[in-house]
Each structure stands twice: as structure tokens, then as C-alpha cells.
Amino acid sequence: MATCPRCKGHLTDSHKCPRRPVIVAAEITAAGLAGGFVGLLLVAIFDQAGQITDTDYSISVIAGALIAIGMHRALRGT
């Protein structure tokens, strides 16, 4: 069986070379940053009185980032 000159995988009719690790890492980082920003934005919208502490803000940013990364990975199928 023939091999792909780029990735050295089996060259079948439906062959697609895997994406580069740098691109995958960039996509995950972008999803995490966007999710963290959305988490922070939601807390800022719903906490108009300013009663939430800094710890709660950081928890919302981390939770938003993790949810966004999880959704990204689930939707990409990897």
C-alpha cells in the first residue's frame, strides 16, 4: 500500500493528513480565551451591584474557558 509523502500514513481514497499540533493548540487557546471572556462578561452583566468577589470572577473565567474548550473539542470530534 502507498504511503503519504507528508504524514507517512496509509494513502487510501479517503486519506486526510492530520492537522499540525501548533494549529490545534492555537484553536484550543482561542476557544479558551473566548470562553473566559464570555464568562467574565456574563458575570459583569448579572452583577451590577458589584457584590461578587475577585475569587468568584476568576472562577467564572476558568469555568467559561473550560466549557468553551470542551464544546470546541466535542464539536470538532477530537
Instruction: Check the CA dihedral 27-28-31-36 and report its sign.
Output: negative
With respect to residue 10, please indicate whether it lies within any of the assigned structural domains.
Answer: no
Specify whether the CB–CB gap between 65 and 27 falls below 8 A. Answer: no
Specify whether the CB–CB gap between 7 and 17 falls below 8 A. Answer: yes
With respect to residue 13, please indicate whether it lies within any of the assigned structural domains.
Answer: no
Rounded distance between C-alpha atoms, residue 67 and residue 76, angstroms: 14
Give the domain extent around 70: 21-76
| This model's pTM is above 0.85 | no
With respect to residue 43, please indicate whether it lies within any of the assigned structural domains.
Answer: yes
pLDDT at 78 > cutoff 70:
no
Per-residue model confidence as pLDDT tens digits over 21-64: 888 889 999 999 999 999 999 988 988 888 888 888 899 999 99
Domain count of the chain?
A: 1
